[in-house]
Amino acid sequence: MIPYGRQSIDEDDIAAVVDVLRGDWLTQGPAIERFEGAVAEHTGARHAVAFSSGTAALHGAAWAAGLGPGDTVVTSPLTFMASANCARYVGARPALVDIDPSTWNLDLARVPAGTDAVVAVHYAGLPVDLANPGWSERPRVVIEDAAHALGAMNPDGPVGNCAHSDMCCFSFHPVKPVTSGEGGMVTTNDDDLAERLRSFRSHCMVRQPDRGAWVYEISDVGYNYRMTDLQAALGASQMTKLDLFIARRNEIADRYREMLADLPVGLPPAAPEGFRHGYHLFPITVADRRRVFGELRAADIGVQVHYVPIHHHPLSSDTGIQPGDLPSCDALYERLISLPCFPGLTAAHQEAVVRALESATQ
C-alpha cells in the first residue's frame, strides 16, 4: 500500500537519537533546546516551546492566552478535531465559520465581531492570509494551527513568525512536515506567553529560589506535556532537512497538477503569488468519491479523506451547527480525497497513483 503520508528517516536521524540514549538526559534536556532553537531560527519567532504533541501545544496555547468559560473560539470546519478541542479543554466554546472555496481555509471575513479567539488552520499547508483577514474586528487572541504548514511561507516570512498572530502551533506526528515521533511546538514573540507555555507543560511549577533551593509553588492546574530528548533529537535532526522536504513536496504537487490536468478531477488551491505551499496534503475532488476511494484502496493506493468536517461529529452538537449548515465545506467534503504526498514518494509511485485514478474516474 502506498500511504498518503510517511516519514523520511535517514542515518543521521537515527544517530542523533542513539546519541541521546548514551547521554544523561532522556526527558527534557539539551536536545529540547536544540530543537526549540532550530524552530525559532527557521520561523524567526522569538520563542519556541516544545510539547509532547500538537494537541498538547494547542491546549497550551489556549491556556496561555487566558481563554476559558464564556469565551468563543472560532476555527475551520475542515480540520482535525484537536483544532476545536483546544477551546473545550479550557472550558471555552468552540464555534465554526464556513471555508473560503477559493483557498479551502476558514473564511476570516466570516468571523463574527465579538469573537474572543480564532484558531486559523493552514489546511494542507496553504497559509491562511492573516495579513489580509477582512474581518470586521480582530479577535482578542489569534492562534495559528500550523500542523500542516511548517516550512510554508507568507509574503512577510515563514509560517510561525507570528507576524499577525499571538502564537503558532506545530505538530511533529510522522505524517507532518518534519517528525519527532510524537511532538508539538508553539512559537510566539511574546515573553509572557512563552513563560506561561513553559510552565503549563510542566505542572505550572514556579521555582522560588529566594525561599530555598527546593521550594516551588503551584498556583494553576498544569500537565506533564514535556517532550523527551529522544524525540527532540529526532526533531532537531529533521529540521536540517525541512527545506528539502518542502521542495520535494512542491515538486510532487507540480507533477500531480500536470499529470491530472486532463482527468475529471478538481485540483487543490495553489499558493498565490508570494506564498509557498507546504503540501502536507494533496487533496483533490472527484465525483462519486465513495467509489473512487474504494477503487484506489483496492489498487493499494492509501488514499484518505481530510477531513470528516468538525460539524459532522456528534461532539460538535455544542456548536449548534449541523451537517449542511456550512455549504462550501459540506459541498467540498462530498468530493474530497487526499492522494499520497510525502518526500519519499517516487515517480513510479506517483504514476501508479495517477493510473489508478484514471481507471477509477473513467
Ligand X SMILES: *Cc1c(COP(=O)(O)O)cnc(C)c1O
Q: Which residues sit at the interface with ligand X, rule CB under 6 A?
A: 53-55, 79-80, 82-83, 121, 145, 147-148, 171, 173, 184
Cα–Cα distance for residue pair 146/126, rounded to 1 Å: 10
262, HSE (Cβ side, Cα atoms, 13 Å)? 4
Q: Which is nearer to ligand X, 232 or 354 (CB)?
A: 232
Q: Least distance in Å: CB of 318 to ligand X?
A: 19
Q: Least distance in Å: CB of 58 to ligand X?
A: 6
Q: Which is nearer to ligand X, 340 or 360 (CB)?
A: 340
Please indicate whether residue 241 is annotated as part of the active site.
no
**Active-site entry in 148, 176, 248, 280:** 176
The residue number with the shortest CB distance to ligand X is: 54
What is the H or E stretch that residue 257 is in? helix 242-259
Q: Which is nearer to ligand X, 164 or 173 (CB)?
A: 173
Cβ–Cβ under 8 Å, residues 137 and 128: no
Number of helices (H) and strands (E) in the chain: give both, helices first: 10, 15
Cα–Cα distance for residue pair 292/294, rounded to 1 Å: 5
Q: Which is nearer to ligand X, 116 or 145 (CB)?
A: 145
Q: Least distance in Å: CB of 319 to ligand X?
A: 17
CA 241 vs CA 124, 349, 361: distances in Å: 19, 22, 36
Q: Which is nearer to ligand X, 80 or 200 (CB)?
A: 80
Q: Least distance in Å: CB of 307 to ligand X?
A: 8
Q: What cell does 307 get?
A: 477531513
Q: How far is CA 175 from the centre of its chain?
A: 11
Q: Least distance in Å: CB of 249 to ligand X?
A: 15
- Those residues whose C-beta lies under 8 Å from the C-beta of residue 223, and which sit 6 or more positions away, are 56, 59, 200, 201, 203
Residues annotated as catalytic are 176
